[in-house]
Structure 1
């Protein structure tokens, strides 16, 4: 991977800016320039303990069960609906922060303990539960899993220290996700949403590559297809140069470019609309000026100097009268609303004085229409509510004691007082504005009369009107100046230029590094797919977007989503193991090496195929530092493949915990 200084230079050269410009842009966007190789992120679980009280017909009573997990493949075997999948969900709850789904048996639990090693650090997760929710939880670190096993609380003397505490399910989820992202050295996966905002995917998205989704799901890696997450997970697990940085840079460049484009488009649209308005007014103004000039030429014997002043005064008063009229209209609406409210409150007061049912419904809703279909509530329903005590909305009888009638009556009287006061205040304000409007109207009439009397010539009214039109249009034009172009933002332009150059530079780095890795990855996936029982598989081709082309059956090419459910499962497992192989060979930090598979035999896999899958998965798990938990109800097949220490089973028909 290119060092940070070389990356500065290459971006600056491509963008044709200085290295300082590049550094300032990255600093202003809060994006680190370059990133060191990721730390190892191996994840292994050691022990799961569950305790609580089972209810129901099947072995009721308290229980305290401990499961221990070794490296390689461990099969959880029990009859259907006997707790196999819930073990995977409890491991998921402890490590992911939330289970994918809560099984019906979780409500029995009061304590859940999980011991694990996270990126080389021994950790313990201690959950106290009530009614399927966390009431308290703590994450502990310690010198080794053996020491942590004996602790549910911090013990500094033994080196057992708290990493965080939580008092609710939400708090635990938030804190454990932040903890795992930090310790596993995983970058947030950021993407743009419709060019206006960002969406950030964290540890739950990564965990989808550990707990395999149903085989029919369409994502090759992880359990979310949107935002290109499978490809982003693949790039992180191959530790392609600055995969997380590239995501942030690409997203920020897209957001900034979209915002600039929308701003420029909005400015251009506003300019066009303003120009059209000005052209229309200018045409009218030209016509008005021509008409005024014609009237002046025809006119004689009137005072040309006084008429403009009188016309201007009349126009000014007309504007003031129009504004005052609008104020009067607004206050009239307020007064009417206040009067209606006072009348409603008086009617309500009368009702609560006369009816116990009215007092009981006093604090309830009083809809005017059905809340579902918006039909008005008929008058006969309201009459029946008063007389027959049936609800005006649902027509059911209204029953109950008339509690605290004096309080209801007092509150109703207080409402009448308040609404009456509001009506008086609205009326006073209305009358004041009405007086001002009358005076202004009289002033306007006087100004207009002066204008009419200014000269007896018949042309005077026509002249005044023509001049008024000119003044009005000149005023309208003055308040609608031509809009300038959208202002340039040099800092924004520089940032977009640098970020786009950075995307291309980082993608070049990705492509160069990918060339070294993807040939090995394709070969490993093909080899593993055949070992896992994918009959007819010849080769595969995976790209950085995690799109997988599958060549099988004599050169027939199909995509991953074209495969049947069982083949999708085999390919998903093959991709995980291949990542571990390639990561070890190229010494890059890759997949955490923990895999949870729920009931693979249910995914269109026959007995012989399942036997082969388990056999090969057991072989490659230990060889590739992979820890696998798989659930099944097939007791015989598991014992044919795995040694006893690789099987955790319950008696037929009995619960696993």
Structure 2
């Protein structure tokens, strides 16, 4: 039975309108435990974290003309380690071309490098430790980066050359009363090593391996070791519609204040600024409140997701309903356009059979028609030939009559005179009066003048023709006339047959057309009947689908959240918010006063009336005018952020509560509008604060003079002029 659950039961009883919610304290305990909400607050007691020794070594690969390269062995580029080999050598034509879009940092002087071994070792002291140089890029940040690398397990953003130079690191950490040594070998920023616990028994140093790592394992090993030893709790938050747990990376990043990373005011993770502040202030119920709020936001997200899904489903149903209605209307419209006549299937089949039979008859008649038409054409040609022959004979007969009754008086060839004596002598001498040829006496008796040498057939024709021409034989024309008549009769008969066939074909074709039209109409009706059947089935389905969509109406939102669990967690969140506020508000007043005092001691005496709220926001006055943290200049933000971090540390150690281990790194504070005299003021103030509360602060700056002036030699590493820190 927990105090939290007992208070939740009371809240639920007051909230329930229809009577108390029938939950016992044990039941609430079970619900909260199932939701991952701790039942009890934890007393936050700070555990000191101190760096007692920093050691790293490696090899610098310098250009031959570098001042520090003098006297050191030169190594050909081909013999250099792969990770320090000049880029120009890696991408030479012999090796391969740079990929599309790549922009490698080409070495200015590819070729041999000077091999310059180095090592650095320093034992920082409690209080303020300074790392300074006369110029930038002299190794100050490298010392801090190595320090944080060993603490977080995550390789920092070294310069590329420096990362490749470092080969071995050892850092000793004092965590409470335990001494840990983090040692590892490094190859281009990839660490392989172990964490050992170092103890001294009767002047004998013993080491116990408590963790080993390779590469990415390093961060996880350091997180598991440090979270437990520093008594830090996971920070659950709900972000991006999912629950996340912030742990060692978030805590360790808050130990560093950089001039280029000043938001939020506490830590360096914007989404957990409030939670980080609550953890460092040390209220007992802050972790429980974070867990309860995360659980409640998870339920809210689940409900919102279910609602969105239901809304999306409702929109789908509505769209489906509209589509179903339109489909139904389209089907009805198509049915209305189909012909309503009833189909006589048997009649259609009989008509089709009759039309097919007629088509065969028409085909046979057309074959006969072609034959008869050919015969008629032949008869017409024969009639024409007979008429021509008869006409020729008639003309020959007329010519014979004409020429044989002629009595020429002049020879048609020589124009010699044909005397009457010679004409009178023809019957006696039997000679032609023109050509003196012997005459055919038989023909002469018929008054036909023809030479005896002319064939008998021709003579007979001439005699017959000549005598017919005189009209003496009425039957002379009977032969030719009969021949023409016969031919004419044949033509008439053939043409009559053609006309009969043509008429018959036309009659059958007309009948077949009528039958085909009936069959076509029947086919259309048959197709329409089939289409009607299909449409009626589709219509039935569409009506059923529309009915189902109408009956289902809009999908209901199914609540994925147990209302009892939600009521419990909301009540718990309400209780915890009140408890945390009651514990935290008095502390915030004290911390705000410390922030104001420290900020002004850092040289920002124009800022006053600081008020750090429970939402991790800062209200203040600037020259008497209301201001907020986000409205300050970068230099003012830097002073306020450092002052806030130190105030939280001091509060924890003075009050004996809180979770900040008292370890703080200030990287290049003078980079943000902080002149040397203000930096000296800050360092002096930091020394004073470090004397009041147990803490270790590292300050890395290019202004080395205040460090030399204010810090003991053991507390500083300073490179003056153009010298390097290591």
TM-score by length of 1: 0.66
Cα distance, 1:478 vs structure 2 = 6.6
Aligned residue number for residue 495 of structure 1: 565
Aligned residue number for residue 622 of structure 2: 552
Aligned residue number for residue 133 of structure 1: 190
Cα distance, 1:574 vs structure 2 = 1.3
Distance change (3 Å), C-alpha of 1:72 and 1:467: closer
Aligned residue number for residue 5 of structure 1: 2
Aligned residue number for residue 34 of structure 1: 40
The yes-or-no answer on 1:162 pairing with 2:209 is yes
Aligned residue number for residue 264 of structure 2: 219
Aligned residue number for residue 145 of structure 2: 89
Cα distance, 1:513 vs structure 2 = 0.7
Q: State the alpha-carbon separation in 2 of the partners of residues 25 and 503 from structure 1.
A: 13
Aligned residue number for residue 591 of structure 2: 521
Q: State the alpha-carbon separation in 2 of the partners of residues 654 and 570 from structure 1.
A: 29
Aligned residue number for residue 154 of structure 2: 98
Distance change (3 Å), C-alpha of 1:655 and 1:475: same
Q: State the alpha-carbon separation in 2 of the partners of residues 504 and 486 from structure 1.
A: 30
Unaligned runs of 5+ in 1: 148-156, 303-451
Distance change (3 Å), C-alpha of 1:465 and 1:31: same
Specify the structure having the higher radius of gyration (Cα).
2
SS in 2 for 1:625: coil
Q: State the alpha-carbon separation in 1 of the partners of residues 266 and 211 from structure 2.
A: 30
Q: How does 1:269-284 map onto structure 2 within 5 Å?
A: 269-271=312-314, 273-274=316-317, 277=320
Cα distance, 1:185 vs structure 2 = 2.1
The yes-or-no answer on 1:603 pairing with 2:710 is no
Distance change (3 Å), C-alpha of 1:622 and 1:59: farther
Q: Is this contact kept in 2: 1:257–1:496, CA < 8 A?
A: no
Q: Is this contact kept in 1: 2:665–2:699, CA < 8 A?
A: yes
Cα distance, 1:69 vs structure 2 = 0.9
Q: How does 1:390-469 map onto structure 2 within 5 Å?
A: 468=537
Cα distance, 1:85 vs structure 2 = 1.3
Match of 2:199 among 133, 143, 157: 143
Cα distance, 1:49 vs structure 2 = 0.9
- How many aligned residue pairs are there? 490
SS in 2 for 1:37: coil
Q: Is this contact kept in 2: 1:577–1:624, CA < 8 A?
A: no
SS in 1 for 2:258: coil
Distance change (3 Å), C-alpha of 1:488 and 1:614: same
Unaligned runs of 5+ in 2: 14-20, 70-115, 345-521
Q: State the alpha-carbon separation in 2 of the partners of residues 638 and 562 from structure 1.
A: 31
Match of 1:63 among 113, 118, 121: 118
Structure 1 stretches of 4+ with a deviation exceeding 4 A read 144-147, 275-292, 298-302, 456-467, 477-481, 487-491
Aligned residue number for residue 287 of structure 2: 244
Aligned residue number for residue 201 of structure 1: 246
Distance change (3 Å), C-alpha of 1:222 and 1:475: same
The yes-or-no answer on 1:259 pairing with 2:316 is no
Q: State the alpha-carbon separation in 1 of the partners of residues 679 and 118 from structure 2.
A: 32
The yes-or-no answer on 1:22 pairing with 2:92 is no
What do residues 512-541 of structure 1 show as CA deviations (whole Å, max 9, x unaligned)? 111221111111111111122112232201
Q: RMSD over aligned Cα, in angstroms?
A: 3.7
The worse-fitting range, judged by mean Cα deviation, of 90-99 and 467-476 is: 467-476
Match of 1:210 among 233, 252, 255: 255
Cα distance, 1:89 vs structure 2 = 0.5
The yes-or-no answer on 1:617 pairing with 2:686 is yes
Q: State the alpha-carbon separation in 1 of the partners of residues 250 and 45 from structure 2.
A: 19
Q: Is this contact kept in 1: 2:180–2:198, CA < 8 A?
A: yes
Cα distance, 1:612 vs structure 2 = 1.2
The yes-or-no answer on 1:633 pairing with 2:702 is yes
SS in 1 for 2:615: coil
Distance change (3 Å), C-alpha of 1:99 and 1:540: farther
Q: Is this contact kept in 2: 1:216–1:568, CA < 8 A?
A: no
Match of 1:179 among 225, 246, 259: 225
The yes-or-no answer on 1:512 pairing with 2:582 is yes
SS in 2 for 1:212: strand
Cα distance, 1:176 vs structure 2 = 1.0
What do residues 350-405 of structure 1 show as CA deviations (whole Å, max 9, x unaligned)? xxxxxxxxxxxxxxxxxxxxxxxxxxxxxxxxxxxxxxxxxxxxxxxxxxxxxxxx
Q: State the alpha-carbon separation in 1 of the partners of residues 529 and 190 from structure 2.
A: 87
Aligned residue number for residue 50 of structure 1: 56
Q: State the alpha-carbon separation in 1 of the partners of residues 173 and 538 from structure 2.
A: 85
Q: State the alpha-carbon separation in 1 of the partners of residues 39 and 227 from structure 2.
A: 20
Cα distance, 1:217 vs structure 2 = 2.7
